[in-house]
């Protein structure tokens, strides 16, 4: 494994590649590698109440994994004036 890469559950993620792409989908546990806010617990809270707060727009589910559409998330924050 090279520097900037890590292995988790038999999947290889290259952190550098995900930082360069736009419209990326970020798993909740990896969110902290890309952004300081909101913390992981805050994201999980938003996901739990997605049907009442409109977060379904930026949440993508692949099997049991929950991915955050980065661009749609920040658009949602701007539109909803969430601080």
pLDDT by residue (tens digit) across 14-56?
444 444 446 799 999 999 999 999 999 999 999 999 999 999 9
Sign (positive or negative) of CA dihedral 20, 26, 31, 36: positive
Any idea which of 45-54, 60-69, 73-82 has the lowest mean pLDDT?
Answer: 73-82
For residue 32, give both structure tokens: 């902290």
For residue 25, give both structure tokens: 């989908």
For residue 6, give both structure tokens: 């890590």
Rounded-to-integer distance, Cα 12 and Cα 45, Å: 27
Phi, psi torsion values for 80, nearest 5 degrees = -100, 0
């Amino acid at each position: 494994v090279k520097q900037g890469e890590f292995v988790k559950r038999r999947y290889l993620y290259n952190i550098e590649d995900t930082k360069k792409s736009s419209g990326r989908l970020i798993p909740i546990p990896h969110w902290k590698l890309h952004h300081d806010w909101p913390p992981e617990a805050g994201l999980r809270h938003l996901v739990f109440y997605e049907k009442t707060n409109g977060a379904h727009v930026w949440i993508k589910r692949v099997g049991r994994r929950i991915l955050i559409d980065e661009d749609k998330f920040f658009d949602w924050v701007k539109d909803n004036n969430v601080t």
